[in-house]
Every structure is written in C-alpha cells, then in structure tokens.
Amino acid sequence: MAYLLALDQGTTSSRALVFDTDGAVLAAAALELTQHYPHPGWVEHDPDEIWRTQLDTARQALAKAGIGARDVLALGIANQRETVVLWERATGRPLHPAIVWQDRRTAEACSALRAQGLEPLFRERTGLLLDPYFSGTKLAWLLDHVPGARARAERGELAFGTVDSWLVWRLSGGERHVTDVTNAARTLLFNIHTHAWDDALLAHLRVPRAVLPTVLPSVADFGTAQAQWFGAPVRIGGVAGDQQAALFGQAGTAPGCAKNTYGTGCFMLLHTGERPVIGASGLLGTPAAQAGPAPAYALEGSVFVGGAVVQWLRDELGLIRSAADIEALAASVPDSGGVYLVPAFAGLGSPYWDPDARGALLGLTRGANRAHIARAALEAIAFQSAELLHAMQAHASAPIDALRVDGGATANALLMQIQADLLGLPILVSRVTETTALGAASLAGMHAGVWRSQDDIASHWKPGRVFEPTLSADEVAARMGRWREAVARTRGWERGDSGSRGGAARDPA
C-alpha cells in the first residue's frame, strides 16, 4: 500500500492528514497555533511554532495511520496565504515574528501607493487590490523596520516566503527556497500574465529580487523532506494556497467549476480557464492551482463574516447555546418575518470592499423574535455568497451549473437549502470535509503519478448531499433586491455618509 501526506497549515492550527490513493482519510492530527496581537490591528505568529506544530502533527498522523515515511509516495502542502516570514539563509533563524494575513499595519502604506495613482498598475498586473491583506507591503515593512534587513536582503543574506516557502525550506534542510504560483500571486509582486516577479512592482515596494523564492507550478518537484524529520526521505510534490487547494480538492479543475468554503468567513473561487479575468467588479483575479504546463486562473470573492455571525448570536447576544442550535431555531419559523441582518462587523468584503460599513439589524417589528433573527443570520450568509456568484456569472468563461461547497457550515441543511434557493443552482456538498488537505494530497499525488491528469481526478469526485433550488426567479430577484437595500443602509457608516446613498466605497474595478 502507498499513501499521501498532506500538511494543512492554517491561521489558527496546523493539521496533517494521511490519505490513501482513493482519497480517503486514514488519520489526522491537529495542534492549535498561538495568536499574538502586539498592537491594535496587528496579528503575528511565531514562525518556529508554525514549523514545530506542523512537524509534530505530521509525525502524529503517520503514527495514527500505522505507517512509516517509506510508505508515503509524496507530501503536499496547503497553507494560510499572504502571511509573511523573513529569515536568515545561513541559519534559518526568523528575523521577526510572521506577519499574518489579517494584519492591518500597512494600511497607510497602501493608501500612500493609491495616492500616487498606482492601484491600476497593481490591479492589472496582479489581479489584486492595494490592501494590507496581501504580502508585499508586509515584506516592505519588515525590510524597513528590522535593523539592517534591507541591506542584508540586497546582499542575498535573507529569504522571504509565505508559509509554504518556510515549511519547504525547513523540510528540505534549507536546500530549497521555492513557492508555487498561487502563493506568489498573493504578494502584489508577481505578474500573473507573465508568471514572473515584476520589476516595476518590486521597485514601487522597494523589494530586492534577491530575497524572493523561485516560483514553480503547483505540481512540481519542490524538493525532499529530509530523513531526519520522518525516518526516511519524502518528496514534496504539491503546494497551493489553502483556497486554491480547496478548489482542487473539490475537483474544480475546469472552467465553470465554482466552490464556496463556509468557515468564519466565506471564500468563493470560480475556475475561469487559461486566461485571467481582471477588473471584474468587486472580485479578485488570481491563479488557480497549476497542475500541468498550462496556467489556470480563477475569480475569487471573500465574505468577511460567514459562520462568525452564528458565533456572534451565541457569544454576544446569547440567543443560542451552541452553534449547532441555530438550525432548529431558524427552522421554527417559515421565514425571517422581514428581518434582515447585515453582518458588516468588520466592513464589507466582495463585491463592495467597504471598510467603513458596519453591521445592522433591519426590518424589526413588535412580532420579531429570536427565531426570526436566527433565520436572518443564516440568510445573511447565503445572501452574501449569492452576491459573489452572481457577480462571477457575468465574467464566467463557461456556464456555472452548480456550486460545490465545503466547510463546517455545510452541515446546516437549512442554510444549504436557502443557498440553493437564492442561487437557483444545485448545491453539492463535498463528501470529504477536509477538502483543503485533499487538494494538497491530490497535487502531490499527481506529481507521484497516482493520477495521470486533472480529468482523472475529476472523474473520481462525487458529491455527498445535493440541495436543489425551489424558489421562482421572481421571488429570488425580490429577495436579493431587498437584501441590497439593507446593505446600502450599512455602507460608509464610519465616515458618516451611510443611508440611501449607500456610501462611497472605493471601487476595486
């Protein structure tokens, strides 16, 4: 028997899973990752803790599966994207805590670049917005604030990487400084048309080329995990950022395939083929996992508050005792009774990108009760995701005939039915809940020859539950229109210009 090992390094935990060559999970292990908040808006991780927890979980997973490293055909890595590590090439010592993707310390730097009129350039070449979310301004901050870092980087003494690069460096004993296209493309430094680091973007962010990793396809020879870690060498055959890995794990390998991950937030990706789509209003153009010689691209939309709205009902309002209670409570009423909850607790993500929006509960009457609010919360998750897919449909290179979904909230059958109704499309719930890790394992498996092609992987994919739409197009249009009215009343609240004008948020298109 032969197996695949997947490392799934996330924001709050490090996970490792062992898969057989049919894609079934044999064993899994997870360890929490400490979150550090040194200043308001700053979020950091300890790079050495990332490495230790990921190594420990991999060893635990192999032990639970009862196999050794010699039984592993290949190892794949999926990682939290945009988080930045800077280390010494000679020693592997991190120079500073990792700056996490959630960190907002470079907001002023992004504003300054926009004031120079540079956003169209970055948007066209990277598919991204000038936002602290992405890696490039974080790296620039480190080079400016760690004593001597810029000069050392220019001399080639330092290495920059996202978490995948850091893990490959450590696993290979410092022999490989590499990343894949999906992670490189989240840095604001990588031209997604030429698939290369872009000199103009590097110059604007003052990043020396010598600090950057080599960029490979997502299926490639990323090096070998040394025998000291697992008892025998294991080749590293696949790497992708977590959302692209999840799309691959859902067999989203062809134009028109769309997936949505329901977690704390919601992340939707639509495969758009071999050409990037740039300038789609409110959406990001980004590479999909590249498993062959041809590049692949996707549109991406992000909902900041998905499952977190359920946690809010539980922890802040006390309307439910556990997150699982919301389905029964929401199902106790036939509809929301005209109540709309817009969970813009941290602003609005795609397609609005309005950091000054704030949450609102609208349409309350004397008869509104906790069940109506619970149902409005579930509908809010579905409304936000529906807006993403509706925006994507206008730019899809092939018809979207279903939405493939994963994440914890897919266990909520009422939410999945509401989502199917608002989209007018079937919702296909993944049989494998660990789709991110499955994507990493599948990429590694392609490199190891387990699967000959992406079509081979797609032919093995089957959904678990399926939810079919039941509402008429007219009813969906009426509900979506009312939702957009509710959203308009939350826009620009922090600036004091919300209301019927809908605020004046920056148009990312």
- Which range is least confidently modeled, 99-103, 325-329, 485-489, 499-503? 499-503
Domains in the chain: boundaries: 3-241, 308-386+477-495
CB 210 within 8 A of CB 218: no
Q: Strand pairing of 340-342 and 98-99?
A: unpaired
Token pair in block for residue 241: 């950022």
CATH superfamily to which 3-241 belongs: ATPase, nucleotide binding domain (3.30.420.40)
CB 427 within 8 A of CB 405: yes
- Choose between 350 and 328: higher pLDDT: 328
Region 81-89: mean pLDDT is 95
Q: Is residue 47 pLDDT above 70, yes or no? A: yes
Confidence of residue 507 (pLDDT cuts 50, 70, 90): very low
Distance CA 349, CA 225 (A): 38
Which whole-number Å values give the CA distances from 380 to 118, 167, 346, in the listed order? Answer: 34, 37, 15
Look up the pTM and report it. Answer: 0.87
The predicted pLDDT at position 497 comes to 65
Residue 274 parent element (H or E) = none
Comparing C-alpha atoms, which of 301, 173, 158 is closest to residue 228? 173
Q: Is residue 420 pLDDT above 90, yes or no? A: yes
Comparing C-alpha atoms, which of 35, 74, 2, 49 is closest to residue 446? 74
Q: Can you give the three-state secondary structure of 120-146, one letter per residue?
A: HHHHHHHCCCCCCCCHHHHHHHHHHHC
CATH superfamily to which 308-386+477-495 belongs: ATPase, nucleotide binding domain (3.30.420.40)
Residue 418 parent element (H or E) = helix 413-423
Comparing C-alpha atoms, which of 350, 375, 137 is closest to residue 260? 350
- Kindly compute the dihedral angle of the four CA atoms of residues 472, 473, 475, 480, in this order, to the nearest 10 degrees: 140
Topology match between the domains 3-241 and 308-386+477-495: yes
